[in-house]
C-alpha cells in the first residue's frame, strides 16, 4: 500500500515490488480528506499527484488497485477500509507498507496484522536522511535540543558543503548573510507554468464539487503534479532563483508571494522530490560557481537541518506533544484568519497569499502569522489546525512542532531558546507592508498604533512569571522594568481595546 505522501518510486515498500505477483493499493479516502477541512489546492495537488503516480506504476506493468473519491462513492472511509477491500479482492497473504509520517496513521498500520490476520511488513521511511534511531542517539542526554548542533552533525554525516574536514567557507551557518530587507527594483524570476491535463482537470472538478466549502482558492492551478514536472521545477529553481534566495530569504514584498523561494517543500513532503537530490543540486551549483555559498548553505540547512530536526522532535514527543500549552493561551482565532480581511496589512498580505496559493514563505508564517498568534495568545490547538488546513506542504509531523515549538513557544522552550516575539519594527524592516497599512508602525500607543507594538509589551507583561527567568529575555524585561507606570497602563489599555474588537482589527 502506498499513501498519498509516499509518491516516490524508490519508496522502501516498492523497492522489491514485482509486477508479476504484487498488487499496489492506493486510495483517496474520505477520512483523510475531511479530518480537517484542507485547502482546496492542497487536496487537488495531492489527489492529482497520486493519480499520476499510479498511472506511472501501471505503465511499468504493475496492477494498481486505485480507489478514487468519486462523487458517487463514499464507501472508502479510511485507509483500513481501502486495504480490507483490497485484501479480500486479491486474496492477499502479505501486506507491505512504508511507515506513515504521522502518528495516527502509523498506529493504524501497526494494527493491521491483528485486524486482517496476515503478515504486515512496516518498513522504515528512509527518504528521511536521519532515522528515528539516529535522532534519538543525537538527542539523548541533551538538556535542550538545538537545531544548529543537529545540523552540524547532519553536514558531517552527508558531506554536504564539507571541505578538508570542515565547513565550506569556514563557517557552518551563513544566516547572518541571509537577512537583507527588500530593496527598490528587486526583480523576481518568472515561474514555470504547467498545463492542466485531463487527469488533473478531473481532480479539480472533483474537489470543486465535493469540497467547495473548504478554505482557499482552487484555481488557477499551476503546480507540478508529476515526477518529471517536479524535477523541472527543481532545476529551474537552482538556475534562476537560488542565486538570490539566500540574501533575500527573509524579505517580504507585496504581491510577490514566491520571490526567490524554492516552492519545493510540498514536492519533497509528498515524495516527488528526494531531499538528497535537492541538496546535491544546490551543492553542485555552488561548486560550479553558479550560486554563492550563503544561498546554497541556506537552502541545504532548511532541508537537512530544519526539516530533519523537526521530524525528529515530532516523533520523540508524540503522542501528547500537540496538547502543549506552556503559556496558557486560550483566545479563539479571529474570523479574519479565514478571510484575510483585516486592517493589519502584513497579516492581510500573508493570509490572502495563503488563501490564493496554499503557500506562504517561512518568515510570513513565523514572524507575521505566528508572531501575531503568539502575542495575541491564540489557542495552540486552533493555530495548529489552521496551519494544517491552509498550507499544501503541511502534514502533522512538520506542522505541529513548527507551531507548538517555534511559533508559539507552547512547549516551554523544548527547542527554541526564546519566544519568537517581535514588535512591528521587524516587519517594517523586512517588508514593504507597513507603508500601506491603516496603522502606523512608528506609533507605539493609541488607536493608530501598530498593534504589534503594544501587543509585544503586553505579551511580556502577561507571561512574566513563565519567561522572566529566560536569560535571553533579560534585556527585554529590563526595558519593561524601566517603563513608567503610565506607559505600562497605556500598553494594557491598548491591548484590552484591541482584544475587545479583535474581529474588526
What is the enclosing helix (H) or strand (E) of 26? Answer: strand 23-27
Residue 12 sits at φ, ψ, to 5 deg, of: -60, -35
Helix (H, G, I), strand (E, B) or coil at 438: coil
Q: Walk along the chain (505 residues) and give the pLDDT tens digit of each residue.
A: 999 999 999 999 999 999 999 999 999 998 998 889 999 999 999 999 999 999 999 999 999 999 998 755 556 889 999 999 999 999 999 999 999 999 999 999 999 999 999 999 999 999 999 999 999 999 999 988 999 999 999 999 999 999 998 999 999 999 888 888 888 888 999 999 998 999 999 999 999 999 999 999 999 999 999 999 999 999 999 999 999 999 999 999 999 999 999 999 999 999 999 999 999 999 999 999 999 999 999 999 999 999 999 999 999 999 999 999 999 999 999 999 999 999 999 999 999 999 999 999 999 999 999 999 999 999 999 999 999 999 999 999 999 999 999 999 999 999 999 999 999 999 999 999 999 999 999 999 999 999 999 999 999 999 999 999 899 999 999 999 999 999 999 999 999 999 999 999 9
For residue 325, count CB atoms less than 10 angstroms from its CB and return exposed for 0-12, middle for 13-18, buried for 19 or more: middle
Residues near 193 by beta carbon (within 8 Å), at least 6 away in sequence: 222
Residue 75's pLDDT is what? 64
Q: Quick one: CATH architecture of 132-188+224-317?
A: Alpha Horseshoe (1.25)
Asked if residue 389 has a cis previous peptide bond (ω within 30° of 0), the answer is no
Residue 62's pLDDT is what? 97
Distance CA 427, CA 433 (A): 8
β-sheet bridge partners, residue 63: 23
Residue 112's pLDDT is what? 96
Distance CA 102, CA 474 (A): 38
Distance CA 207, CA 33 (A): 10
Tell me which residue has cell 507498507: 97
Kindly state the DSSP code that residue 190 receives in the 8-state scheme.
P
Which three cell numbers mark 476?
Answer: 527585554
Distance CA 62, CA 294 (A): 44
In this structure, the number of other CB atoms found within 10 A of the CB of residue 375 comes to 24
Residue 166 sits at φ, ψ, to 5 deg, of: -135, 180
Superfamily of domain 336-504: DNA Cyclobutane Dipyrimidine Photolyase, subunit A, domain 3 (1.10.579.10)
In this structure, the number of other CB atoms found within 10 A of the CB of residue 159 comes to 9
Kindly state the DSSP code that residue 365 receives in the 8-state scheme.
I
Residue 71's pLDDT is what? 52
Distance CA 403, CA 333 (A): 14
* DSSP string computed for 94-134: EEEEEPPSSHHHHHHHHTHHHHHSSEEEEE--TTSSS-HHH
478-481 long-range Cβ contacts below 8 angstroms, 24+ apart? none
* DSSP string computed for 266-285: HHHHHTSS-HHHHHHHHHHH
Q: Quick one: CATH architecture of 23-123?
A: 3-Layer(aba) Sandwich (3.40)
Distance CA 77, CA 31 (A): 5
Closest CA to 109 of 88, 123, 92: 123
Helix (H, G, I), strand (E, B) or coil at 169: helix
Residue extents of the structural domains in the chain = 23-123, 132-188+224-317, 336-504
Residue 183's pLDDT is what? 83
* DSSP string computed for 306-318: IIHHHHHHHHHHT
Residue 185's pLDDT is what? 80
Distance CA 452, CA 437 (A): 12
Q: Tell me whether the CATH fold assigned to 132-188+224-317 matches the one assigned to 336-504.
A: no
Residue 17's pLDDT is what? 96
Distance CA 347, CA 350 (A): 5
**CB-based contact 310:397 (threshold 8 Å):** yes
Residue 24 sits at φ, ψ, to 5 deg, of: -100, 125
Amino acid at each position: 500500500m502506498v499513501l498519498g505522501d509516499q509518491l516516490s518510486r524508490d519508496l522502501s515498500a516498492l523497492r522489491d515490488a514485482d509486477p508479476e505477483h504484487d498488487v499496489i493499493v492506493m486510495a483517496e479516502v474520505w477520512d483523510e480528506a475531511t479530518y480537517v477541512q484542507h485547502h482546496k489546492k492542497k487536496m487537488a495537488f495531492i489527489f492529482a499527484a497520486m493519480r499520476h503516480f499510479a498511472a506511472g506504476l501501471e505503465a511499468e506493468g504493475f496492477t494498481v488497485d486505485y480507489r478514487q473519491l468519486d462523487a458517487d462513492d463514499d464507501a472508502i472511509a479510511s485507509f483500513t477500509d481501502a486495504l480490507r477491500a483490497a485484501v479480500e479482492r486479491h486474496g492477499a497473504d502479505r501486506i507491505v507498507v512504508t511507515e506513515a509520517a504521522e502518528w495516527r496513521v502509523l498506529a493504524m498500520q501497526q494494527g493491521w496484522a491483528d485486524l486482517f490476520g496476515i503478515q504486515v511488513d512496516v518498513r522504515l521511511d528512509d527518504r528521511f536522511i536521519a532515522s528515528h534511531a539516529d535522532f534519538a542517539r543525537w538527542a539523548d542526554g541533551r538538556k535542550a535540543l538545538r537545531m544548529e548542533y543537529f545540523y552540524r552533525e547532519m553536514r558531517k554525516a552527508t558531506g554536504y558543503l564539507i571541505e578538508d574536514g570542515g565547513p565550506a567557507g569556514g563557517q557552518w551557518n551563513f544566516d547572518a548573510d541571509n537577512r537583507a530587507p527588500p530593496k527598490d527594483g528587486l526583480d523576481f524570476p518568472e515561474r514555470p507554468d504547467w498545463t492542466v491535463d485531463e487527469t488533473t482537470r478531473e481532480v479539480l472538478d472533483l474537489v470543486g464539487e465535493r469540497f467547495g466549502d473548504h478554505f482557499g482558492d482552487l484555481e488557477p492551478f499551476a503546480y507540478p503534479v508529476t515526477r518529471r514536472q517536479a524535477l523541472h521545477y527543481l532545476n529551474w529553481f537552482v538556475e534562476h532563483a537560488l542565486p538570490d534566495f539566500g540574501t533575500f530569504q527573509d524579505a517580504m514584498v507585496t504581491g510577490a508571494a514566491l520571490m526567490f523561494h524554492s516552492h519545493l517543500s510540498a514536492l519533497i513532503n509528498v515524495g516527488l522530490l528526494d531531499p538528497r537530490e535537492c541538496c546535491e543540486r544546490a551543492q553542485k551549483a555552488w561548486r560550479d560557481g553558479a550560486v554563492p555559498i550563503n544561498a546554497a548553505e541556506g537552502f541545504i540547512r532548511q532541508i537537512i537541518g530544519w526539516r530533519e530536526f523537526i521530524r525528529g522532535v515530532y516523533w520523540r514527543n508524540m503522542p501528547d506533544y500537540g496538547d502543549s500549552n506552556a503559556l496558557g493561551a486560550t483566545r479563539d482565532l479571529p474570523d479574519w484568519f479565514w478571510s484575510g480581511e483585516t486592517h493589519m496589512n502584513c497579516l492581510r498580505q500573508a493570509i490572502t497569499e495563503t488563501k490564493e496559493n496554499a503557500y506562504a514563505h517561512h518568515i510570513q508564517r513565523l514572524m507575521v502569522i505566528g508572531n501575531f498568534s503568539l502575542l495575541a495568545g491564540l489557542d495552540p490547538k486552533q493555530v495548529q489546525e489552521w496551519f494544517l488546513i491552509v498550507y499544501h506542504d503541511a502534514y502533522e509531523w512538520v506542522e505541529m512542532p513548527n507551531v507548538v515549538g517555534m511559533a508559539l513557544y507552547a512547549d516551554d522552550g523544548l527547542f527554541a531558546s526564546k519566544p519568537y516575539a517581535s514588535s512591528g519594527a521587524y516587519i517594517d524592516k523586512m517588508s514593504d507592508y507597513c507603508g500601506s497599512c491603516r496603522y502606523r508602525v512608528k506609533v507605539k500607543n493609541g488607536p493608530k498604533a501598530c498593534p504589534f507594538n503594544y501587543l509585544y509589551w503586553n505579551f511580556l507583561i502577561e507571561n512574566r512569571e513563565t519567561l522572566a527567568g529566560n536569560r535571553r529575555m533579560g534585556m527585554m524585561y529590563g526595558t519593561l522594568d524601566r517603563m513608567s507606570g503610565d506607559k505600562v497602563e497605556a500598553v494594557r489599555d491598548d491591548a484590552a481595546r484591541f482584544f475587545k474588537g479583535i474581529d474588526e482589527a
